[in-house]
Chains A and B, each alone.
Chain A
Amino acid sequence: MDTMKKFQEKLLLFFDKLGATSSTFLSETGGIFINAIRGLYLAFVPPYRWRNLLKQMEFIGAQSTFIVGLTGLFTGMILAFQSSHAFRLFRAETLIGPTVALSLTRELAPVFTALLVTARAGSAMAAEIGTMRISEQIDAIFTMGIDPVQYIITPRLVASILMLPLLNALFTFLGLIGGHIISVNVVGVTSFAYWDQIFYYVTAEDYFNGFLKAAVFGYVISAICTHMGYNASGGAEGVGRATTHAVVVASVSIFIFDYLLTALMY
């Protein structure tokens, strides 16, 4: 009888925890969704704060160029190296170019760019907005008769949607250059064959879908990171928690949305 009771208690506790976790998950997802919709809607409502938008574009886009470019270059070089190993077995080294190009345009460039921006700008968004929340700066904006969502979140969403495709282009371009360096200098493919095969196999659609993915990822990560910061509570520790949470959820979401988009596109 006693063991039965203990078992019942444990079962109850399990469902209790399950319920609490799913309820948190649902309210969090709902919160991010509302934040994403409202934040973007307010971009079309005056007043338009161009200075804020440009500032965010500079931070999210311009300041990420070095790290995105460097990662792109090395990704292309690694891809060329690894695929050369397999293609050498078939004497089909000229296909290294298209392999590198297709991997980059369809998958690696948008996903890596989004992960890099999450780590660099997404974490900063969550931390900055979280600090504004706990130091009452967001309340101060509200009590001045200004919509804090429109002032703080909207420019970050728009800037991310605009800048991610550009960073994606940079990543892809430098990745192709990296692939070229290895193919020509290490594997021994001619420069003409490298580019010729890329133009033959890679279509405009591949590039376009990559850009589209990047834009969607930009929207997703900025919506998540701003939401986490905006709802931070509990002092310095709370801001730290919000930042970690933002980076983790945004990174995982990139892969989930990547799967969904890939399934829809191809």
Chain B
Amino acid sequence: MEDAVIVIEDLHKSFGDVKVLDGVNLTVIRHKTTVILGRSGCGKTVLIKHIVGLLKPDKGRILYEGRDVVNMPTHERKEMLKEFGMLYQSGALFDSMTVEENIAFPLVEHTKMTKAEIKERVQEILHRLGLKDVEGKYPAELSGGMKKRVALARAVALEPKVIIFDEPTTGLDPVMCDIIDNLIIKTRDELGITCIVITHDIQSTFKIADKIAMLYGGRIIEEGTPDEFRNTSNEVVLQFLHRKAEGPIKIMD
């Protein structure tokens, strides 16, 4: 039996009449990278928002280290979230703060470190992520790739056990995509962090994933290692992997 950190069981969620999640089952394994693959707007973001408690499911369970996330009391959830890092698609950096203040933010809020210790820690993280001379800059002055890296720096500041990446390579040039991919691999290997990545970037998926799960029609329709995915006979997965407009995936708009 694999060592599961997060277990999602039969998760359902609708917004009005629109059914977004229709019985999702998924297991996230410790110290591995799980990639959730799917089309834009298929509910990937909705799924991860459930894991951190930003959304409540209509039905189903989410277990983190065996504890029920859905009905967790507020103070317990706050403690749990300190073990999570989240990298938002837009970076979600605080635009009224400098890069240094952004990365220091979780440390200021959650630790008793002194100003000097925090400064040192921020420098160390920036150095590890290959960022130089950006401490005093504001997020608006940074490029897309820089923003993602600073956001990753903020996410790892508290040394979390799990990091969730929301479309980390979307909107970046190929070189920057590869840099981010390498950083995700580094995060997993050097810091021993469990990574969850949601993306529709196939090249990146095969580079970073230990396990891939494909979300389609509100369910996980295929789950396995990258090799298993390459040899799949599932037509939906094949259409997606081979970037075909024709196939079982129906485009409404």
Does chain A bind chain B?
A: yes
How far is it, in angstroms, between the C-alpha of A178 and the C-alpha of B52 when the chains are bound?
A: 57
List A79-137 residues whose CB lies under 8 Å from chain B.
Answer: 128, 131-132, 135-137
A213 to B222, CA, bound (A): 63
Residue numbers in A under 8 Å from B95 (CB-CB): 131, 135, 137
B186 to chain A, nearest CB (A): 22
State the CA gap A216–B82 with chains docked (Å).
Answer: 37
Contact of A144 among B79, B89, B93, B109 (CB under 8 A): B109
In the complex, A137 Cα to B88 Cα: how many Å? 9
B79 touches A139 (CB 8 A): no
Assess whether A143 is in contact with B54, with CB atoms less than 8 Å apart: yes
Question: Across the interface, do A136 and B92 meet the contact criterion of CB distance under 8 Å?
Answer: yes
- The answer to whether A143 and B90 touch across the interface, beta carbons within 8 angstroms, is no
B94 touches A137 (CB 8 A): yes
Residues from chain A with Cβ under 8 Å of B77 in the complex: 145
Chain B, 25-54, CB within 8 A of any chain A CB: 49, 52-54
**B237 interface residue, CB < 8 Å from A?**
no
A150-185 contact mask (Cβ, 8 Å, vs B): 1 or 0:
000000000000000000000000000000000000
CB proximity of A154 to chain B, nearest CB, Å: 14
A142 neighbours in B (Cβ, 8 Å): 52-54, 81
Q: Please classify how large the interface on chain A is, using the bins under 10, 10 to 19, 20 to 34, 35 or more.
A: 10 to 19
B residues in contact with A47, CB < 8 Å? 109
Q: Does B250 count as interface, using CB distance less than 8 angstroms? A: no
Q: Are A143 and B109 interface neighbours, CB within 8 A? A: no
- Cα distance A136–B48 in the bound complex, in angstroms: 14
Q: B110 within 8 Å of A by Cβ?
A: yes
A144 to B90, Cβ gap below 8 A? no
Contact status A139-B105, CB under 8 Å: no
Distance to closest chain B CB from A205 (angstroms): 42
Residues of B within 8 A of A147 (CB): 74, 78
Q: Tell me how far the C-beta of B77 lies from the nearest C-beta in chain A, rounded to whole angstroms.
A: 8
B86 contacts the other chain (CB 8 A): yes
**Contact indicator A145/B78 (Cβ below 8 Å):** yes
* Pair B94/A143 contact, Cβ less than 8 Å: no
Q: Tell me whether A261 is interfacial, beta carbon within 8 Å.
A: no
B52 touches A143 (CB 8 A): yes
Report the bound CA distance from A227 to B52 in whole Å: 23
Q: Does A18 contact B (CB under 8 A)?
A: no
A233 CB to closest chain B CB (Å) equals 12
- The smallest C-beta distance from A166 to any residue of chain B, in angstroms, reads 25
A140 surroundings in chain B (CB, below 8 A):
86, 88, 92, 94
Are B52 and A144 closer than 8 Å at their CB atoms?
no
Which of chain B's residues have a CB closer than 8 A to the CB of A132? 94
Contact, CB under 8 Å: A136 / B88: yes
Give the distance in Å from the alpha carbon of A132 to the alpha carbon of B139 in the complex.
13
Residue among B54, B93, B109 making CB contact with A139, cutoff 8 Å: B54
B192 touches A (CB below 8 Å): no
| B84 CB-CB contact with A under 8 Å | yes
Contact among B49, B96, B109 for A146, CB-based, below 8 A: B109
Q: Which residue of A lies closest to B81 (CB)?
A: A145
A47 to B, closest residue via Cβ: B109
Contacts of B89 in A (CB 8 A): 136
Which residue of B79, B81, B93, B96 is within 8 Å of A143 (Cβ)?
B81
- In the assembled complex, 13 residue pairs joining A and B whose CB atoms fall closer than 8 Å, in A order, are A135-B95, A137-B95, A139-B54, A142-B52, A142-B54, A143-B54, A143-B86, A144-B106, A145-B77, A145-B78, A145-B79, A145-B110, A147-B74
Given pairs A139-B88, A145-B77, 6 additional interface contacts (CB within 8 A): A132-B94, A144-B105, A145-B78, A145-B81, A146-B78, A146-B109
Q: When A and B form their complex, which 3 residue pairs have the shortest distance between CB atoms, in order from nearest?
A: A145-B81, A136-B92, A140-B92
B-binding residues in A (CB < 8 A)? 47, 128, 131-132, 135-137, 139-140, 142-147
